[in-house]
Amino acid sequence: MARERSSRADYAQFKQMTTRWRDNDMYGHMNNVVFYEYVDTAVNTWLIENAAMDIPNGEIVGLVVETSCTYHGSLGFPEPLDVGLKVSRVGNTSVTFEIGLFDVNDQNAAAEARFTHVYVNTETRRPVPLPDGLRGALEQLVVG
Protein backbone atom coordinates (compact mmCIF):
# COMPACT_ATOMS: atom_id res chain seq x y z
CA MET A 1 0.00 0.00 0.00
CA ALA A 2 3.06 2.23 0.06
CA ARG A 3 2.77 2.90 -3.62
CA GLU A 4 4.31 6.00 -5.15
CA ARG A 5 1.56 8.12 -6.65
CA SER A 6 2.29 9.51 -10.10
CA SER A 7 2.23 13.27 -10.60
CA ARG A 8 0.95 15.49 -13.40
CA ALA A 9 4.46 15.70 -14.88
CA ASP A 10 4.31 11.97 -15.63
CA TYR A 11 1.67 12.40 -18.34
CA ALA A 12 1.89 13.72 -21.88
CA GLN A 13 -1.49 15.44 -22.11
CA PHE A 14 -4.62 16.15 -20.12
CA LYS A 15 -8.32 16.41 -20.74
CA GLN A 16 -10.81 17.72 -18.21
CA MET A 17 -13.96 15.64 -17.97
CA THR A 18 -17.21 16.25 -16.13
CA THR A 19 -18.60 13.82 -13.60
CA ARG A 20 -22.19 12.61 -13.29
CA TRP A 21 -24.52 11.99 -10.41
CA ARG A 22 -24.52 8.31 -11.29
CA ASP A 23 -20.72 8.05 -10.99
CA ASN A 24 -21.04 7.87 -7.21
CA ASP A 25 -22.18 4.69 -5.56
CA MET A 26 -23.75 3.98 -2.19
CA TYR A 27 -20.58 5.09 -0.43
CA GLY A 28 -20.89 8.59 -1.88
CA HIS A 29 -17.72 8.43 -3.98
CA MET A 30 -16.93 7.47 -7.55
CA ASN A 31 -17.48 3.77 -8.00
CA ASN A 32 -14.37 1.76 -8.92
CA VAL A 33 -15.91 0.71 -12.24
CA VAL A 34 -16.56 4.27 -13.34
CA PHE A 35 -12.84 5.13 -13.28
CA TYR A 36 -12.53 2.89 -16.33
CA GLU A 37 -15.17 4.92 -18.22
CA TYR A 38 -12.76 7.86 -18.06
CA VAL A 39 -9.85 5.63 -19.05
CA ASP A 40 -11.70 4.27 -22.08
CA THR A 41 -12.79 7.76 -23.03
CA ALA A 42 -9.28 9.22 -22.76
CA VAL A 43 -7.81 6.55 -25.02
CA ASN A 44 -10.57 6.67 -27.64
CA THR A 45 -10.64 10.46 -27.70
CA TRP A 46 -6.93 10.54 -28.38
CA LEU A 47 -7.18 7.89 -31.11
CA ILE A 48 -9.96 9.83 -32.85
CA GLU A 49 -8.25 13.21 -32.58
CA ASN A 50 -4.65 12.19 -33.22
CA ALA A 51 -4.47 8.92 -35.02
CA ALA A 52 -7.09 9.41 -37.68
CA MET A 53 -8.69 6.13 -36.75
CA ASP A 54 -12.05 5.51 -38.31
CA ILE A 55 -13.85 4.03 -35.32
CA PRO A 56 -15.52 1.57 -35.76
CA ASN A 57 -15.20 1.28 -39.55
CA GLY A 58 -11.47 1.12 -40.20
CA GLU A 59 -9.40 -1.76 -41.53
CA ILE A 60 -7.76 -2.26 -38.20
CA VAL A 61 -9.31 -2.18 -34.79
CA GLY A 62 -7.83 -2.03 -31.30
CA LEU A 63 -8.86 -4.97 -29.13
CA VAL A 64 -8.57 -4.37 -25.42
CA VAL A 65 -6.58 -7.27 -23.96
CA GLU A 66 -5.80 -6.00 -20.49
CA THR A 67 -6.76 -3.15 -18.20
CA SER A 68 -5.93 -2.39 -14.59
CA CYS A 69 -6.31 0.41 -12.09
CA THR A 70 -4.68 1.26 -8.79
CA TYR A 71 -6.81 3.48 -6.55
CA HIS A 72 -5.06 5.90 -4.18
CA GLY A 73 -7.85 8.27 -3.25
CA SER A 74 -11.46 9.11 -3.88
CA LEU A 75 -12.96 11.20 -6.66
CA GLY A 76 -16.58 11.92 -7.41
CA PHE A 77 -19.52 13.99 -8.51
CA PRO A 78 -19.97 16.94 -8.64
CA GLU A 79 -16.30 17.88 -9.15
CA PRO A 80 -14.77 17.48 -12.62
CA LEU A 81 -11.52 15.62 -12.99
CA ASP A 82 -8.35 15.92 -15.03
CA VAL A 83 -7.39 12.85 -16.99
CA GLY A 84 -3.74 12.45 -17.95
CA LEU A 85 -2.60 10.20 -20.79
CA LYS A 86 0.73 8.76 -21.86
CA VAL A 87 2.07 5.73 -23.68
CA SER A 88 4.36 3.48 -21.68
CA ARG A 89 5.09 0.82 -24.27
CA VAL A 90 4.82 0.66 -28.05
CA GLY A 91 5.17 -2.93 -29.25
CA ASN A 92 5.02 -4.44 -32.71
CA THR A 93 1.27 -5.02 -32.70
CA SER A 94 0.24 -3.59 -29.34
CA VAL A 95 0.44 -0.48 -27.22
CA THR A 96 0.03 0.20 -23.52
CA PHE A 97 -1.46 3.49 -22.42
CA GLU A 98 -1.23 4.81 -18.89
CA ILE A 99 -3.94 7.05 -17.58
CA GLY A 100 -3.90 9.16 -14.44
CA LEU A 101 -7.10 10.45 -12.86
CA PHE A 102 -6.58 13.66 -10.89
CA ASP A 103 -8.64 15.79 -8.60
CA VAL A 104 -8.45 19.21 -10.28
CA ASN A 105 -6.68 20.60 -7.22
CA ASP A 106 -4.19 17.81 -6.72
CA GLN A 107 -0.75 17.30 -8.26
CA ASN A 108 -0.80 13.58 -7.50
CA ALA A 109 -3.04 11.04 -9.13
CA ALA A 110 -6.06 9.69 -7.28
CA ALA A 111 -5.85 6.65 -9.52
CA GLU A 112 -3.54 5.20 -12.15
CA ALA A 113 -4.72 2.89 -14.89
CA ARG A 114 -3.11 0.83 -17.62
CA PHE A 115 -4.86 -0.07 -20.86
CA THR A 116 -3.39 -2.40 -23.48
CA HIS A 117 -4.64 -2.51 -27.06
CA VAL A 118 -3.68 -5.13 -29.63
CA TYR A 119 -4.41 -4.01 -33.16
CA VAL A 120 -6.03 -6.59 -35.39
CA ASN A 121 -7.32 -6.72 -38.92
CA THR A 122 -11.05 -6.08 -38.88
CA GLU A 123 -11.74 -9.12 -41.08
CA THR A 124 -9.21 -11.71 -40.00
CA ARG A 125 -9.06 -10.62 -36.33
CA ARG A 126 -5.33 -11.36 -36.40
CA PRO A 127 -2.75 -8.97 -34.94
CA VAL A 128 -1.21 -6.58 -37.44
CA PRO A 129 1.88 -4.39 -37.07
CA LEU A 130 0.99 -0.86 -36.01
CA PRO A 131 0.66 1.34 -39.10
CA ASP A 132 3.48 3.89 -39.32
CA GLY A 133 1.15 6.85 -38.85
CA LEU A 134 -0.32 5.42 -35.68
CA ARG A 135 3.10 4.44 -34.37
CA GLY A 136 4.43 7.93 -34.93
CA ALA A 137 1.49 9.48 -33.17
CA LEU A 138 1.76 7.06 -30.24
CA GLU A 139 5.45 7.84 -29.81
CA GLN A 140 4.56 11.45 -29.14
CA LEU A 141 2.70 10.26 -26.05
CA VAL A 142 5.81 8.63 -24.59
CA VAL A 143 7.11 10.64 -21.62
CA GLY A 144 10.75 10.93 -20.67
Binding of residue 9 to a second copy (CB under 8 A) = no
Binding of residue 66 to a second copy (CB under 8 A) = yes
State which of residues 127, 131, 135, 143 lies at the interface with a second copy (CB under 8 A): 127
Binding of residue 38 to a second copy (CB under 8 A) = yes
Binding segment (CB under 8 A) for a second copy, from list 4-12, 45-53, 100-108, 135-143: 45-53
CB neighbour list of residue 82: distance below 8 Å, 6 or more residues apart = 8, 14, 15, 16, 17, 101, 102, 103, 104
Binding of residue 99 to a second copy (CB under 8 A) = no
Q: For residues 13 and 142, is the Cβ–Cβ distance under 8 A?
A: no
CB of 144 to a second copy, least distance (A): 24
Closest CA relative to residue 76, chosen from 115, 37, 1, 18:
18
Cis peptide before 78 (omega within 30 of 0): yes
State which of residues 55, 107, 129, 140 lies at the interface with a second copy (CB under 8 A): 55
DSSP assigned state of 21? G
Binding segment (CB under 8 A) for a second copy, from list 11-19, 99-107, 135-143: 11-19
